[in-house]
Chains A and B, each alone.
Chain A
Amino acid sequence: MSKVIATSVIAGAHQWVSEAEEALRQAIDQFGPEQAIELPNTGYYLPVIYGLTGIKVEKIKDMEQVLEHARELLPEGPAERLWTPYLGTALDAGVATLFAEEIIESLRYLLQPGFYTETDAPTADNLWLGAADDVIMRERGVEFVDGTAPGFAAITGAAPDVETAVKIAQELKEKMLYVFIAGKNQNTGVSFADQLVEGGMELGWNTRLVPFSPFVSGHIFSLGFATRAALAFGGVQAGDYRNVLKYNKDRVFAFVLALDEVSDKKYATAAGAISYGFPTIADTPIPEILPTGVCTYEHVVSNVPHDEMVARAIEVRGLKVVVTEVPVPVSYSPAFEGERIRKGEYWVELAGPKSAGCEFTEIADDVEDGKVTVVGPEIDDVEEGSTIPLAVHVEVSGRKMQKDFEPILERQGHSFFNEAEGVLHMGQRDTIWMRISKRAHDAGFNFEHLGKIIHARYHADFGEVVDKVQVTINTQQEDVEKLLERAQVAYQERDDRLGSLTDESVDTFYSCILCQSFAPTHVCVITPERPGLCGSYNWLDGKAAYEMNPTGGNQPVPKGVTVDEERGQWSGVNEYVKEHSQGAVEAFNTYSMLENPMTSCGCFEVISCILPMCNGIMTVNREFKGDTPSGMKFSTLAGSVGGGVQSPGFLGHSRYYMGSPKFISADGGIKRLVWMPKELKEEMRDILQKAGELAGVPDLVDKIATEENGTEESEVLEYLTKVGHPALEMDPMF
């Protein structure tokens, strides 16, 4: 920390803490000390304060002790001459700033209700989203875990002009990074987010351009996100500040881009970020801090030209971003996956509900690598705003290619297409639906590029098994129908094949430790009848991934000797889990949530937990924000399941697992399911119907209570009794 910076940081921190004290005084005057305070839908209280100190701020009076601590952390600025060391004290001032900012921003929800949209994208009249709730954090967390988002750039201030802002944002997205925006240019009042809007960019969590707040203090939401990553995925206990911060230094590749003038208050905020290992890259000639130590490399790098900022930031943070070169005339990166293309914005709509379509990948002979044929009209042959059919026929060959890999490759088309800017893809198989934006069309994007995307990505991602790829894009009704007919037969065969795979019929399972970049002690074991808890990987995926990359995150796990058939425990699995959880988990039962259940990284689609009075379990999905009969919301439940810890009675799993005959079969199976959110129930209806039938209770689905029947366990019990839910007749759960 240079003395100039330390002086500013400390001065800024004093201002922040005073401001927070003032806000707290005001809130107490207005609402009284007992007033409840929370950020929207999170199980982590005020996450930075909770993560670093373990203090649960639930009422505004709880903030007093936090501010006392912040005050105590505030040092004097360095003396003109004969100064005493200021790095430690300035970093303390930075942490005090974070506490103050979190108090200021959470009180804003109380003092200025409606200031933030509390949505995942801006509304018509409000750009500023405010804090990410746990649903967003977990959804996005998955991307941080699987590497499609290696980190985030926290931007303060504004670029000199709209064009520069758009360029920086575009470049960050191409590097797959999230862009968190808070604060604005103090002189002009313009923020980076305003500039992006003016430049025609779509903002929101889906597009990875996240406008948190017009205030610099809004970057506490960036750090709140980072802190929750450590707690939710890293298994770090709240209050274990050393490990919260180390986790972030090692695993969350974030940095600050300080655009325009850096005020004392911005310096203080940046100092707080440095404790997380997040360096600052500035476009102004502020003093630099180059020696390493608190961050992995430099701490403050300044005077960086705008066209070098992103590259420099990535280097300073020590990040390697591997970007696949795809020969299309639009930007291409996972960061574009979430864009929406609304009616009126697209040039052409392909397949979808108003037309026919399918995607079909198969092994073929005589494949000419790189050949892309468009059969039927090209993009310029169709009128703006039209809807046409589409069949994407991919033929591959390769010495190591197997029939079982076909659906895996095919399903990836969804991401591969979506990652192109201006291309929207939904659904799979015969339910696909695509749109290509006018902007992409104007940039020269055509149907042939769809084939080129497939060709490039198949080689980049599946090069181990695929030698040659050729793609035919059919855009004429009769061709599409012809392929569709053939494809549907293949889809059925594949489903039958998957359905015939049981845990007993194989001797090897597959592990998934992809999440260990984020959750270092968690190990997923994927069996034919139990997909990965994130819902992204089934047994065939694991097998294919292993064959494609024998040293990757998916490894074969020989079952070994059966230890407990009913609970699904095998010696080989135990050994593997013990070794790869660094000894944290000694044994685990595949089919039980009561005894040695599987751990979670934090990416689970749903959580099940026992309801003792009901002699059953409830299941809640991460999108559901309401109360549950367990007395905990999803966000709180998630806090006790993630991070590679075995929590008997709690289980994070995929949605699809609920349809498996092995779903907690040792604990009584699907018949134990007594409560779930209505929305989830409707989405899962078909699967649950089949599972119920298999379990001998054909009307099970309708006997499962939802929030409409109650969110208190006693209310649920009342309902179960009324409808005669089978769980009530079963043996006691424990």
Chain B
Amino acid sequence: MSDSEESKDKKKKAEPHAKSIDPAALEMLQKADAAGISTVFSRVDEMKACPIGAAGSCCQLCAMGPCRLVGKNAEEKTGICGATHGTIGARYMVRAIAGGVAAHSDHGRDIAKTLLAVSKGKVQGYEVKDTEKLNAVAALMKISTEGREVNDIAGEVAQRALDNFNGVVDDELTYVSRAPKKRQELWRKLKLVPRGVDREVVESMHRTHVGVDQDADHLLDQGMRTSLADGWGGAMLATDLSDILFGTPKPLVSEANLGVLKEEDVNIIVHGHEPTLSEMIVAAAQDPEVIEYAKSKGAKGITLAGICCTANEILQRHGIPPAGNFLHQELAIITGAVDAMIVDVQCVLQALQPLAEKFHTKLITTSPKAKIPGATHVEFEEERALDIAKDIVRMGIDNYANRGEVTIPQYTGDMVAGFSHEYINYMLGGRYRASFRPLNDNIMNGKIQGAVAIVGCNNPRVTQDESIIYLVRELIKNNILVVQTGCAAHASAKYGLLAPETLEEAGDGLREVCETVGMPPVLHLGSCVDNSRIMTILSHVVEEGGLGDDISDLPIAAICPEYYCEKALAIGTYAAASGAYVVFGVRNPVEDCKEVVDIMSNGWEEKVGGQLVFEPDMKKILEMVLNKIQEKREALGINEEKERVLLDMAARREL
């Protein structure tokens, strides 16, 4: 290699940074380094992010380009078609949102189809597990339940859900009615009410096609509308229909990290997103016959663990431990202890197969939507769901004998998971006094200053888990209740922050409330589609009263500190369009598009009361979020010391 080539190559390499704060990850990375195995952690050093694309200055929508708007006077440059930075950035955002919405909503659609199949008795192993929730969802959909068979109701609910995707619901998604009244009116006024999940995705793809919509603000409105079709559509349906089929989560005890794998057991990991398959894998792995089969192959039993959101789905409902978050998928294989990794859709690295080939792990793809070259494909069909699941588990068992050297890092974190909006409502008053009143009251009296959702992914461009853990710890110290989903929740789980004992780290006020309720100061609400649970909770909090009359009045915020994918942008956008202050870490994907940056922060704040901003520095994120919460508290007038209201008879008449 010549000198010049070497220096050119160096330029492409990223500045090395600490890989992770997780000792389990570091142990596995050491093993990988020693064996000369590449991982997402090493490849990220090998390849610097393209600086033009990273800041939103690259448009590759047509064959006249790709156009790059860089160099001198970059801000004034346009693409060949004349597209400005603003248009290019807005198109990028809208397409990313559409991509994310499509992913969540396709997931939601499949659940709806499963529910429909269940209602027709055409499936194996599934049934309606939570009729109370079915009735609640039916009521919300204005479907009558009186005197009807469960499957009859389920069929109509499923059909109504599918109508939401297809856009045959009177130009307004059903769940829009779940939002606070004022928010609904605002959306209607601004024409932000989604009219059908598929329709908004299609329209987004159309409007971002070259030569169509070229007004950044107008484009970003469509971005918001599309995102709302996720948060108040596809994802919300995914959550609710999953609860109906598989049960609404209730708190349970589990643990997380690679230490959950057991050397003497057959270890099976489910990785991906949809609960449909994983539910059956759980059933199969607990089947006495299957366990017997594992024993016959010399194992002590079967350990099932999860990665990514599929882990969250089976954690929340069955207590199945997560082996780790997004960046742990390769590390799990590197333990040498994983006999089968079963994947479906989303966030599955293509690098898994070449890695699995270096160990004995069998990578099994199952979704008709996703194949990986070299992996074993066993297509999943609902009609034979349990049989297929058993076959897959048996494949893992058969592979147990092929193990080589096994190194399981002995790290786990204890946790209590399984919070749903239904349970939160229950836990604050019991069956007879269930309500969000105590939460509102304690936010109003300042024992809890506010609530922040810390959600989203891992990204190898930043130190794994570092900013998530920093923010969780600092926020609870500042008496802010933290709720989590997705891989960010796994991060907290690994370090024991989801355990109720974490109240020791909370500020006095939050600690007191946690002691009263018996809850941890950091609540795990589930998978990424379950961010919709947060929307439902916020609506309940508004409805309960005393904290304004819209989500944008609440002292709340959302942070996605280590985001990496389009789904995260979709979620962040619907949160902002619902009135939340949303901060993303890592980097701003449209940093060079000043107009877009301004619209998503100042413009949206004025328009919908929420913002989507990017800030790579976690300390600054903390400061921004704390300030925003105080700003909201001030506006609500709840920061002033209030005298206790004592009621006499006349005051009681006024009630």
Q: For chain B residues 97-140, which have a beta carbon within 8 Å of chain A?
A: none
Beyond A3-B518, A318-B647, A320-B646, is A293–B253 a contact (Cβ under 8 Å)? no
CB of A83 closer than 8 Å to a CB of B: yes
Which stretch from B58-66, B266-274, B434-442, B467-475 is at the chain A interface?
B434-442
Could you say which residues of chain B place their CB within 8 Å of the CB of A1? 516-518
Q: C-beta contact mask, A636-680 vs B, less than 8 Å → 1, else 0?
A: 000000000000000000000000000000000000000000000
Q: Decide if B652 touches A517 in the complex (CB within 8 Å).
A: yes
Could you say which residues of chain B place their CB within 8 Å of the CB of A242? 432-433
The chain B residue with its CB closest to the CB of A518 is B652
In the assembly, what is the distance between CA of A245 and CA of B432, in Å? Answer: 8
Min C-beta distance of A1 to chain B, whole Å: 6
The chain B residue with its CB closest to the CB of A250 is B655
CB of B8 closer than 8 Å to a CB of A: no
Could you say which residues of chain B place their CB within 8 Å of the CB of A85? 251, 423, 427, 517-519
CB of B5 closer than 8 Å to a CB of A: no
CB of A626 closer than 8 Å to a CB of B: no
Could you say which residues of chain B place their CB within 8 Å of the CB of A79? 253
Q: Decide if A292 touches B442 in the complex (CB within 8 Å).
A: yes
Min C-beta distance of B40 to chain A, whole Å: 32
CB of B648 closer than 8 Å to a CB of A: yes
Number of interface residues of A (CB under 8 A): 55
Q: Decide if A293 touches B437 in the complex (CB within 8 Å).
A: yes
Q: For chain B residues 428-457, which have a beta carbon within 8 Å of chain A?
A: 428-434, 437-439, 441-442, 445, 447
Q: Decide if B252 touches A84 in the complex (CB within 8 Å).
A: yes
Number of interface residues of B (CB under 8 A): 44
CB of A251 closer than 8 Å to a CB of B: yes
CB of B499 closer than 8 Å to a CB of A: yes
Say which residue of A84, A245, A294, A321 sits within 8 Å of B416 (CB atoms): A84
CB of A87 closer than 8 Å to a CB of B: yes
Could you say which residues of chain A place their CB within 8 Å of the CB of B500? 82-84
Main SS class of interface, B: helix
Min C-beta distance of B499 to chain A, whole Å: 6
Beyond A293-B439, A517-B653, is A91–B251 a contact (Cβ under 8 Å)? no
Could you say which residues of chain B place their CB within 8 Å of the CB of A320? 646-648, 651
Q: Decide if B431 touches A73 in the complex (CB within 8 Å).
A: yes
Min C-beta distance of A149 to chain B, whole Å: 10
CB of A373 closer than 8 Å to a CB of B: no
Could you say which residues of chain B place their CB within 8 Å of the CB of A291? 438, 441-442, 445, 447, 512-513, 516
In the assembly, what is the distance between CA of A314 and CA of B647, in Å? Answer: 10
Min C-beta distance of B525 to chain A, whole Å: 14
Min C-beta distance of B516 to chain A, whole Å: 5
Q: For chain B residues 491-514, which have a beta carbon within 8 Å of chain A?
A: 499-501, 512-513
CB of A624 closer than 8 Å to a CB of B: no
In the assembly, what is the distance between CA of A533 and CA of B442, in Å? Answer: 43
The chain A residue with its CB closest to the CB of B513 is A291
In the assembly, what is the distance between CA of A251 and CA of B650, in Å? Answer: 11
CB of B34 closer than 8 Å to a CB of A: no
Beyond A291-B442, A293-B437, A315-B644, is A88–B429 a contact (Cβ under 8 Å)? yes
Most buried by B among A88, A146, A321: A88
Q: Decide if B430 touches A89 in the complex (CB within 8 Å).
A: yes
CB of B645 closer than 8 Å to a CB of A: yes
CB of A531 closer than 8 Å to a CB of B: no
Q: Decide if A82 touches B431 in the complex (CB within 8 Å).
A: no
Q: For chain A residues 1-48, which have a beta carbon within 8 Å of chain B?
A: 1-3, 6
CB of B649 closer than 8 Å to a CB of A: yes
In the assembly, what is the distance between CA of A566 and CA of B34, in Å? Answer: 103
Q: Decide if A87 touches B653 in the complex (CB within 8 Å).
A: no
Q: Decide if B433 touches A294 in the complex (CB within 8 Å).
A: yes
In the assembly, what is the distance between CA of A85 and CA of B500, in Å? Answer: 9
Q: Decide if A553 touches B653 in the complex (CB within 8 Å).
A: yes
Q: Decide if B647 touches A88 in the complex (CB within 8 Å).
A: no
Q: Decide if A289 touches B427 in the complex (CB within 8 Å).
A: no
CB of B426 closer than 8 Å to a CB of A: yes
Could you say which residues of chain B place their CB within 8 Å of the CB of A73? 431
Q: For chain B residues 518-552, which have a beta carbon within 8 Å of chain A?
A: 518-519
Min C-beta distance of A537 to chain B, whole Å: 16
Q: Decide if B429 touches A84 in the complex (CB within 8 Å).
A: no
Could you say which residues of chain B place their CB within 8 Å of the CB of A299? 516
Could you say which residues of chain A place their CB within 8 Å of the CB of B172? none
Say which residue of A88, A251, A315 sits within 8 Å of B652 (CB atoms): A251
Most buried by A among B416, B430, B442, B647: B430
In the assembly, what is the distance between CA of A245 and CA of B431, in Å? Answer: 12
26 contacts between A and B (CB under 8 A): A1-B516, A6-B518, A78-B518, A79-B253, A82-B253, A82-B416, A84-B518, A85-B427, A85-B517, A87-B427, A87-B518, A88-B429, A91-B430, A95-B431, A95-B432, A146-B649, A150-B649, A242-B432, A289-B516, A291-B438, A291-B516, A293-B442, A294-B429, A294-B437, A318-B646, A553-B653
Across chains A and B, which 10 residue pairs bring their CB atoms closest together, nearest first?
A: A293-B438, A91-B430, A147-B649, A86-B518, A320-B646, A517-B652, A84-B251, A88-B427, A85-B518, A320-B648
Which A residues form the contact surface with B (CB < 8 A)? 1-3, 6, 52, 73, 78-79, 81-92, 94-95, 146-147, 150, 241-242, 245, 250-251, 253, 275, 289-294, 297, 299, 314-315, 318-322, 513-514, 516-518, 520, 552-553
Not counting A88-B434, A320-B647, a sample of 12 additional A-B residue pairs whose C-beta atoms are within 8 angstroms of each other reads A6-B518, A83-B416, A83-B500, A84-B251, A91-B432, A242-B432, A291-B438, A291-B442, A299-B516, A315-B646, A320-B651, A517-B655
